[in-house]
Amino acid sequence: MFGIKVKDSLLRLGFPDGIQNAFLFGIFNAFSFQIVLGTPVILYAKTLGASETVLGVISGMMPLLVVLQIPAASYVVRVGYKKFVLAGWGTRVFMIFLMSIIPLIGSLIGHVSTLSVLLMLLFLFNLSRGISSCAWLPWITSLVPEKHRGKYLMIDSACVNASSLVIFIVVALILGKIPESWKFSLVFLVSAVNGFVSLLFLKKIPEVETPDQVRVSAAPVPWGEIIEYKPFKRVLIVNFFWSIGYGGLTAFIAAYLKSIEQFNEMLILLTFACSYIGGLCNIWLFWSRLDHYGSKPILQITFLLWIILMISWVLVTCGLLPRWVVFIGVLQFLIGLASSASNMALTRLAMCIVPVMGRNHFFALFSVVGNVTQGIAPVLWGILIDSMSGVTFGHGHFTFNKFSIFFGLVAIVFIVTLLSIRKIEEPKSLALDKLLQELLLVPTKFWFRFWPRT
């Protein structure tokens, strides 16, 4: 009964029949990937003695292997969107099942060998994802009408953030304050089972035919012309700088918190769970505004927030702001809000600008630029942080260290990103000041709604 009501609600919003399966896939997929691509696997690697450089490799592996979308894009039209994604996601799930065995045999082969096997399985996991993910965005873009894509991204983001919040709390409870090997094994098994369930819903998403012109074309792909398409080129530049700053941010925040005595695995995961509450708030802030105002003004507001957040982390690492669990939770809440809004607005912007002809290759290039940069960036950030492990100077409670330098440099990158956003040409977007005026009224409307009437 509940499923029928949800389906009817989505149809009334203008979504095609069967789209609810895409949201259900997103929910269970988030239950799965947030474990093997997120903070839990980073914490497990730290228990094996992984350095910041190795953490950078783990964080960068997934986005770096998205480069395989470029050669894979030509095969999508021959296989079909659904079959292509299913093959990749099925392989991913198999790798997670193998990963769940690693912590159980870790004591037999030693930490170094265990870490090596973990890296190998993560590589194969991300290899299959990198190849198959090139079909996802063209599939959804063809399935969802243009005027409802912003709402689709909002609902999808809400599903992912709600699932991520739940799974982080579950993982925190499983690991506890002193995580043992079998607990990590159980966590990876939870990821594998949810990954398998997500496949069942993926099979139910309606297939969409690829354009006939693309299907029969044997001409070489004009990558030069695609890159030089000015509106798309400017979006690529923003995607590039955003990916430099964001790449590895989650891993190195976790590494920093792990270095503070009062933060154990449970507290770190619970503070990270706050980021998904922030992501959920986007559906309240931008539900109708993303399609109405456009992506550009939302990106401008979001990157102003990013700059403030990175400066705040500099002050935290220097000892000028408190390292209270609640305060770190607030920072993570705002990071989740900013991250979700950035991803939604940038993805919607690409959907609006990319032409129908050559859509697979435009999206492949868009994903590759962002993801490869996010793959290389954490490795370079990790090397930088490791190389500055002995850098510490200050006076009294003020201590400038390797993490302070990292967050300061990320703040500079986000300033460059904000300047790049100004050059974006987005059709039908409204001015920033109009969005700001309406957002400033949101707290007022909320307050008056609950103000007692006499």
Tell me the per-residue pLDDT of 303-332, one tens digit each, with 9 for 90 and over.
999 999 999 999 998 888 888 889 999 999
CB of 255 closer than 8 Å to CB of 272: no
Name 152's Cβ contacts closer than 8 Å, sequence gap at least 6.
15, 19, 140, 144
- Average pLDDT for residues 203-209, to the nearest whole number? 82
Q: How many CA atoms lie within 13 Å of 411's alpha carbon, on the beta-carbon side?
A: 16
Confidence of residue 285 (pLDDT cuts 50, 70, 90): low
- Average pLDDT for residues 38-42, to the nearest whole number? 83
CB of 54 closer than 8 Å to CB of 42: no
Q: Which helix (H) or strand (E) holds 394?
A: strand 393-395
- Rounded CA Rg of the chain: 22
CB of 230 closer than 8 Å to CB of 47: no
Name 248's Cβ contacts closer than 8 Å, sequence gap at least 6.
55, 56, 59, 60, 374, 377, 378, 379, 381, 382
Confidence of residue 434 (pLDDT cuts 50, 70, 90): low
Would you state the pLDDT for residue 172? Answer: 87
| Separation between Cα atoms, residue 166 and residue 402, nearest integer Å | 32
Determine what percent of the chain is predicted with pLDDT higher than 70: 81
Look at phi and psi of residue 203 and say left if phi exceeds 0, alpha if psi is from -120 to 50, else beta: alpha
- Average pLDDT for residues 191-215, to the nearest whole number? 80
Q: How many CB atoms lie within 10 A of CB 324?
A: 11
Confidence of residue 214 (pLDDT cuts 50, 70, 90): very low
Would you state the pLDDT for residue 263? Answer: 82
Would you state the pLDDT for residue 189? Answer: 94
**CATH superfamily to which 17-209+222-440 belongs:** MFS general substrate transporter like domains (1.20.1250.20)
CB of 97 closer than 8 Å to CB of 192: yes
| Separation between Cα atoms, residue 45 and residue 87, nearest integer Å | 28
Q: Which helix (H) or strand (E) holds 381?
A: helix 359-387
Would you state the pLDDT for residue 448? Answer: 44
Q: Which helix (H) or strand (E) holds 402?
A: helix 402-421
Would you state the pLDDT for residue 98? Answer: 92
Residue 374 pLDDT greater than 50, yes or no: yes
Read off the pLDDT of residues 104-132 as tens digits, 9 standing for 90 and up.
887 788 888 898 999 999 999 888 888 88
Residue 418 pLDDT greater than 70, yes or no: yes
Determine what percent of the chain is predicted with pLDDT higher than 90: 18
**Cross-strand bridge partners of residue 395:** 398
Confidence of residue 213 (pLDDT cuts 50, 70, 90): very low
CB of 29 closer than 8 Å to CB of 195: yes
| Separation between Cα atoms, residue 120 and residue 133, nearest integer Å | 20
Name 180's Cβ contacts closer than 8 Å, sequence gap at least 6.
none
CB of 358 closer than 8 Å to CB of 214: yes
CB of 385 closer than 8 Å to CB of 252: yes
More confident position, 86 or 13: 86
Residue 429 pLDDT greater than 60, yes or no: no
Find which of 21-25, 64-68, 283-287, 429-433 is predicted with most confidence, using mean pLDDT: 21-25
pTM for this entry: 0.70
Q: Which helix (H) or strand (E) holds 399?
A: strand 398-400
| Separation between Cα atoms, residue 123 and residue 125, nearest integer Å | 5
Read off the pLDDT of residues 399-417 as tens digits, 9 standing for 90 and up.
778 888 999 999 999 999 9
- Average pLDDT for residues 5-21, to the nearest whole number? 66
| Separation between Cα atoms, residue 152 and residue 166, nearest integer Å | 21
Would you state the pLDDT for residue 222? Answer: 67
Query: Any idea which residue has 């607990």 for tokens?
Result: 183
Residue 430 pLDDT greater than 60, yes or no: no
More confident position, 70 or 214: 70
Q: Which two tokens stand for residue 174?
A: 């499983």
Q: What's the one-letter identity of residue 180?
A: E
Query: Any idea which residue has 């859509």 for tokens?
Result: 359
| Domain spans of the chain, in order of start | 17-209+222-440
Read off the pLDDT of residues 129-171 as tens digits, 9 standing for 90 and up.
888 877 777 788 778 877 777 778 778 878 888 898 899 889 8
**Cross-strand bridge partners of residue 334:** none
| Separation between Cα atoms, residue 276 and residue 204, nearest integer Å | 27
Nearest to 170 by CA among 323, 276, 61: 276
Would you state the pLDDT for residue 69? Answer: 72
Would you state the pLDDT for residue 445? Answer: 47
More confident position, 95 or 362: 95
